[in-house]
Amino acid sequence: MIITVIGTGLIGGSMALDLKKRNIAQQIIGVDSNTEHIAKALELGIIDEVLDLKESAQKADLVIIAVPVDQAPSLLKEVLDHIKENAIVLDVGSIKANICKVADAHEKRSQFVACHPIAGTEYSGPEAAHYYLFDGKINIMTDVDKSSKSALKTATEVFEALKMKNIHMEAEEHDRHIAYVSHLSHITSFTLGLTVLDIEKDEKSIFNMAGSGFASTVRLAKSSPAMWTPIFNENKENLTSAIDSFIDKLNDLKQMIESGNTGETYRAIEESNQIKRILDGIELKNQAATLNN
C-alpha cells in the first residue's frame, strides 16, 4: 500500500524503514514541517516522495501521524478531512486521551486507530531512525471499539509486520499508567542532570568521578525538549500525581537514612530489588527481538 508518514523523525522514520523493507509499503510519502528533516529523510531513503499534507492524505492507503503530541490532534482532524473512503489513519503518540477526544468529534472516527508503540531511544530526528526499533516490543491500541473492524485489522497487521505485540486498553488508563513507567523516569533523569550540572558549577572535577551507573540513570536526560515538553504538558494531571508519589517515597527513604535506621533502609532497598522481575521481562523481550534479526 501507499503509506504517508507525517513526522519523519525517530519513530516515523523507523516505521517507514521497516514497513518498506518488509513489503508492507510499496511507496512512502513524507510530510514534515521541518524542511531540514524532510530533506534528510529523502536523502537517507527513508521516504520516496514529498507532498503537502492534503495531497499526501488524499493519495495514501495508510497515514501515520508521528509528530509531537501537541501538534497531532489538529493534524489528525485535517488528515481525516481529506483521506479516501477506505484509508486509515494511525497516530503513534505517547498520550492518548486528548487525540481520542478530537477523533471522537470527527465523522470519520472509525477510520482512525489510536496507537502507542513502546519503543524509542534518547535520540531524535531522521538520522536517529533505524531498522528493527520495534521488534519484540509492545504496541498499545486505545479505545479500539471506536475504530472500524477493517481499520483495526489493518492497524494490527501493520504492527505485527513490525514484530510488535498489540495490547488494548482505554485511553485514560493508558495515560495514567504511562505517567509512571515512562514519563516519570524521564522526569527523574532530567532532574538528576539538572542537580549534578548545578553542583558542577562550583566543583569542576566532579564528573571525573561519574561511572556507568550514573550514565545509565541519567541517559534519558539527553531526550528532546521538543518531544517531551508537550508530553509533560498534555499529561500534567497524571504526571504530577506520579511525581508526588515519587517525592513521598524519596522523603521516606531520606528520613530512614538521616535517622540512621539501617534496618528500615535495608528493607526498602530489598523491596526495590523486586524490580528485577520486571526488568528481566523487558530484557527477555529485547533478547527475543535480537534473536529474530
Binding to its own copies (CB under 8 A) within 206-235 occurs at 206-226, 228-230, 232-233
Residue 250 or 288: which CB sits closer to its own copies? 250
Residue 105 or 209: which CB sits closer to its own copies? 209
Residue 275 or 291: which CB sits closer to its own copies? 275
Q: How far is the CB of 75 from its own copies (least distance, A)?
A: 18
Q: How far is the CB of 54 from its own copies (least distance, A)?
A: 28
CA separation for the pair 262, 247 (Å, rounded): 20
Within residues 161-180, the interface with its own copies by CB under 8 A covers: 167, 169, 174, 176-178, 180
Assess 137 for contact with its own copies (CB under 8 A).
Answer: yes
Say if residues 31 and 51 touch (Cβ distance below 8 Å): yes
Residue 37 or 116: which CB sits closer to its own copies? 116
Q: How far is CA 79 from CA 29, 82, 132, 168, 230, in A?
A: 14, 5, 27, 24, 21
CA separation for the pair 15, 129 (Å, rounded): 8
Within residues 54-83, the interface with its own copies by CB under 8 A covers: none
Q: How is residue 29 written as a grid cell?
A: 510519502
Assess 243 for contact with its own copies (CB under 8 A).
Answer: yes
Residue 142 or 147: which CB sits closer to its own copies? 142
Identify each DSSP E strand in 84-152 by its residue range. Answer: 88-91, 112-117, 138-142
Identify each DSSP E strand in 102-164 by its residue range. Answer: 112-117, 138-142
